[in-house]
Structure 1
């Protein structure tokens, strides 16, 4: 679709995306599909080669909705079968109770799987491979932005190299500490969870059974996410900040022993495959997702607790909705950078994001309670939900984006 608008000012690109991570590249793919001239700016080159036996530190749980996006922009085929780990089941239990558990199975909704676990570096590489040969793409990487200037008809970025580039619309997709958001004067509300997430890869004695496992106790949730090798998982262990520091101070064997104990040895003995690292968990919300010639997506706009594995999937949904808003504006001959033309995107996304943030806050507060009566109530709640197939179907479909 050729780009058109009411302005007579020439620009270098219709859209410049600041941030070439997974979410930024997914938006680029959607816009290039519409034949829109797009530039992507990022300080880090795309990693495309690594030792065959290495394991990436960070992974994402890709929902079926996000899988559809990857297929639409032809990125899914660039992920090798050995690089994506489908999971058929989710098993969640309350570590403070013997009754509180719930199991989700793909067969309940006649699906082959509930989603895939894929390393973040693989996702970024596959998205780049899908778009790198597009003639409408400007790939400014590695490159950094040093200043931004918003005019009536365009926005201008000055780069560290001295180059200046202009566009009708700038998109902040540069993460939770977004340079573009800050440089554009968009404020941010922060609510620390008081948790740190510890991530690493582990080898397990027993096979993971293509199951995503999650155990809750008063310290926080511990997830074992299945990798392609049946004896390897990626873990996300969200715990109080002080306890996280205590765990990270342990040697590898002592950490693995503490991890096995917290996981109730569900998959037998555990050994570390990568070094554990931790990062603080903070709920963030930008004061607005749109402004004059600016839109925010992904972690630049919002962050949530990782306990439901929905963070990056919310970002992918942002990209889909923004691409739709841009397409609709172009079809009407409207200026894609006007705030009023971006409002439909913000309205479409804010309710889902807020609902997810409230749900994550609620789950965290519920499971950190050590009051016996509350523990008993949540235990019975999980058990009752597990006995209602229709309710479980709806929960699965919502989580998968179906």
Structure 2
């Protein structure tokens, strides 16, 4: 990366977003409301249709705060009601204790639900459709970046196709292995959780009752997330890497049996509907989320353990905070790409991300211990919390972003 002096030049765009995933598209939609010229670069086209009856194995738990963001950019209305799986309750229990459990109910805070489980492909399509009609938004796909150069008054990207583009601000929204972050000489701290997350779609004998279920034991958390069909769930089973390999080596029927046993037959017999796949889990934190002419959002800036389902919601919050910081600069007639104009965004997002990362570390360490004294303490903590409505209300509102 180089930064050098230059004379005033004509810019192609105000902002170039590298990464057209869910978070990058959410930011682009917010920037469209500011009448900015924006380009989005991504190597993977958006799936606009798929075979009936199929379910994406990757889903997201969308909080109320993220829902409001989607509504503000008119993307929520583009998601069919049958693709929004609202859940009214969340039931969490310690699989190694008979008393350690806690239940959250939307009625406790007078809300219609606690959130929605939505397939990632559905979310990305809706976000893409929300910017399709914007004439000042350019979608460059499939396309890859090849080089980046930072000048005093602009940043320039060279694409694999040979095209060169200038903008006041670049945004890295290109995922955990962000090319733009690396090319911009921003390091990151990475710590392996020692877990792999196994995901797939399953059919259950009993209705999921519009409830998100999560069971903990020393192997890790197992979540059943309710989908639109009352007998379909998306599972996320986070376990240590060696156990994950053992599970993945099983035949589908044997895996289903193991899954049913681990979940204590809570929803009856389980049938596996899609091939289980696994990916390693890491906590990653970029050394900084902003510098001259550059901001980082989403997984390009941070990743966390999925046990609380907050990863993509943190990214959506990044997008909203960055859009607000840009709006403030525009109203003051200031250069949106200057480092000091991006500092408020960076400070706010780093503090919230760090708090969430620490919480996930604490949960993981608490539940992976199979020491009797620790098991007793955590079970007691869950049971006590379950009996305190006010504390539960606070926890629910925090999780929902309210």
- Rounded to whole Å, the distance in 1 between the matches of 2:345 and 2:387 is 38
TM-score (norm 2): 0.98
- Rounded to whole Å, the distance in 1 between the matches of 2:95 and 2:228 is 27
Partner of 1:299: 299
Q: Is residue 2:104 matched to residue 1:104?
A: yes
Partner of 1:18: 18
Offset, 1:34: 1.0
- Rounded to whole Å, the distance in 2 between the matches of 1:137 and 1:79 is 21
Partner secondary structure for residue 158 of structure 2: strand
- Rounded to whole Å, the distance in 1 between the matches of 2:362 and 2:308 is 12
Partner of 1:3: none
Partner secondary structure for residue 143 of structure 2: coil
Partner of 2:192: 192
- Rounded to whole Å, the distance in 1 between the matches of 2:356 and 2:107 is 25
Q: Is residue 2:121 matched to residue 1:121?
A: yes
- Rounded to whole Å, the distance in 1 between the matches of 2:348 and 2:371 is 39
- Rounded to whole Å, the distance in 1 between the matches of 2:15 and 2:226 is 37
Partner of 2:3: none
Partner of 1:207: 207
Matches within 5 A, 1:30-179: 30-179=30-179
- Rounded to whole Å, the distance in 1 between the matches of 2:137 and 2:8 is 22
Q: Is residue 2:215 matched to residue 1:228?
A: no
- Rounded to whole Å, the distance in 2 between the matches of 1:34 and 1:158 is 26
Offset, 1:38: 0.7
TM-score (norm 1): 0.98
Long gaps (5+) in structure 2: 1-6
- Rounded to whole Å, the distance in 1 between the matches of 2:34 and 2:180 is 25
Partner of 1:4: none
- Rounded to whole Å, the distance in 2 between the matches of 1:288 and 1:10 is 28
Partner secondary structure for residue 180 of structure 2: helix
Deviations 1:43-74 (A, max 9, x none): 00000110110010100000000000000000
Matches within 5 A, 1:242-281: 242-281=242-281
Partner of 1:345: 345
- Rounded to whole Å, the distance in 2 between the matches of 1:173 and 1:284 is 14
Offset, 1:8: 3.9
Partner secondary structure for residue 364 of structure 1: helix
Aligned CA distance change for structure 1 residues 74 and 81 (closer, same or farther; 3 Å): same
Partner of 1:239: 239
Partner secondary structure for residue 384 of structure 2: helix
Matches within 5 A, 1:351-370: 351-370=351-370
Partner secondary structure for residue 399 of structure 1: helix
Partner of 1:289: 289
Offset, 1:272: 0.7
Partner secondary structure for residue 197 of structure 2: strand
- Rounded to whole Å, the distance in 2 between the matches of 1:81 and 1:26 is 20
Point out 4+ residue stretches in structure 1 off by more than 4 angstroms.
none
- Rounded to whole Å, the distance in 2 between the matches of 1:36 and 1:344 is 20
Partner of 1:372: 372
Offset, 1:9: 2.3
Partner of 1:392: 392
Partner secondary structure for residue 66 of structure 1: helix
Deviations 1:258-295 (A, max 9, x none): 11111001000001111100000000000000011000
- Rounded to whole Å, the distance in 2 between the matches of 1:271 and 1:371 is 33
Partner of 2:318: 318
**Across the two proteins, how many residue pairs are aligned to each other?**
396
Long gaps (5+) in structure 1: 1-6
Partner secondary structure for residue 359 of structure 2: helix
